[in-house]
Amino acid sequence: MKYGENMGENLNSKLFYNTILCQTFSPDGRYLLAGNVYGDISVYDLSTALGPRQTDDEEFLGPTYQFKAHPDQQVQSMLTTNNFLVTGTCGEVAGWDWKSVTSSKSLKIKPSWVVQIPSKKDSLEKPDVNCMVYSKENHLIYAGCGDNKIHTINLDTGKIISSLAGHTDFIHSISVFGKQLASGGEDGTVRLWDLRNKENTNILQPHLNDKVARPKIGKWIGAVDFTDDWLLCGGGPKLSLWHVRTMEAATVFDLPDEGIHVADIFEERIITGGAMPYLYHLTYQGVPLAKVPISSKTVYSVIYQENPQKVLSIGGSSNKIDVCTNFNYREMVLKFA
C-alpha cells in the first residue's frame, strides 16, 4: 500500500470517529468555531456558509480553515470574550487572539496566554477543563474541572483567584445567572453557589426522585441551566425543571434519550439534546415545539445567536455540524474537516 493511501485511510477513520465537543461564535458573530477530540479547531465564515451555494448539494461545506490548537489533547470547552477565543483542555485554559484566529490562514497560531489548572499534590494527572462560562461583568471565567472544583480565572491577571469545592466527582456543566452559579457533576448533584460569598447555597440530587431517576443510565448530571425561578437539569436522570425556591420538580420531560448533555433555557422554550438523534425544543410544560433530526447519535454542543444572523449550531458524535437559521428545522449541514 502506498504511503499516501495509508494516510488517506487514517484520515478517513479519524473523521469517522470524529466527535465535536464544543463550539462558539466570534464576538462579532461572523464566525462559527468548533473544537474536536483530536485537538483541532475548525473556523467557518458564516456569510460564506449561509450564502448561496455554487456546488452540488451532496457536497457538505467544510471550514474556511482549521488549526491544531492542542496536539494530542481534546478541545473540551470553548468560549468567547471580546479579545480572545478561550479553549479548555487537559490541565489548562488558553486564550487565542481573535485577529489571528479569524484572519490568519497560518496553521501555526499560538495562544496569547495559558493558565494552568493545579494538579492534586499526589496525582500526576492533570484535571480536564470540561466546561467554562464567562462573566462579562467581572471579566472572570468559571471553569468546571476534573478535580471536582470550579476555578475562577481573572482575565486581567491571568490567575486563578478562587475555587469552589463541594462536588465529590468531576464537573460536567456550569451556568451563571447574576451573582449565582449552578453546577452539575458526575456525583449526581446539582449545586447552587453564591458567587459573592463563594458559598454552596443549595444541593439538589435528582436521582433520588423516583419520577426523575433512571438508575440504568446513572446518576450523573450532564447539563444545567437556571433563571431566578427555574432550574433545568438532566443527565442520567431525566431532563427536569425545578422551582428554585422550593426545589420541587415542576416538569419531568418525557424524551427518548439515553442521557442528556445539553439543556438550555432560551426565552420561553427549552432546548435539549443528548444521546438521541434529535434536538428538541419544548415548552416549560414539556410540549414539543420542534423535533429536529440531526447527524450525530449524541449531541454534546448546541450554540445559538440572534445577530448578525440567526443561527443555531449543533455538534456531537459525528464529522458533521447541523445548522438551523429557523430554530425549528435543520437548514444545512457543514463538515468539520
296 falls within a domain? no
Find residue 232's DSSP bridge partners: 225, 241
Provide the pLDDT for residue 2: 33
Give me the CATH number covering residue 64.
2.130.10.10
83 falls within a domain? yes
pTM of the predicted model, to two decimals?
A: 0.93
Number of domains in the chain: 1
Task: Grade residue 16 by pLDDT with cuts at 50, 70 and 90.
Answer: confident
**What is the dihedral angle through the alpha carbons of 115, 118, 119, 121, rounded to the nearest 10 degrees?**
150
Q: Domain range spanning residue 94?
A: 19-118+150-165
Find residue 305's DSSP bridge partners: 311
pLDDT digits (tens, 9 = 90+) for 246-267: 999 999 999 999 999 999 999 8
Provide the pLDDT for residue 171: 97
Look at residue 206 and tell me whether its pLDDT is greater than 70: yes
> In terms of C-beta distances under 8 Å and separation of at least 24 residues, what long-range contacts does 68-74 make, across chains too?
68/39, 68/40, 68/107, 69/35, 69/39, 69/40, 69/41, 69/94, 69/96, 69/109, 69/111, 70/39, 70/94, 71/39, 72/39, 73/39, 74/21, 74/35, 74/36, 74/37, 74/38, 74/39, 74/128
Which residue type does 221 have?
Answer: I
110 falls within a domain? yes
Look at residue 212 and tell me whether its pLDDT is greater than 90: yes
pLDDT digits (tens, 9 = 90+) for 286-324: 999 999 999 999 999 999 999 999 999 999 999 999 999
pLDDT digits (tens, 9 = 90+) for 21-74: 999 999 999 999 999 999 999 999 999 888 876 555 557 899 999 999 999 899
28 falls within a domain? yes
pLDDT digits (tens, 9 = 90+) for 127-182: 999 999 999 888 999 999 999 999 999 998 999 999 999 999 999 999 999 999 99
23 falls within a domain? yes
Provide the pLDDT for residue 292: 96
198 falls within a domain? no
DSSP labels for 151-164?
EEEETTTTEEEEEE
242 falls within a domain? no
248 falls within a domain? no
Provide the pLDDT for residue 56: 55
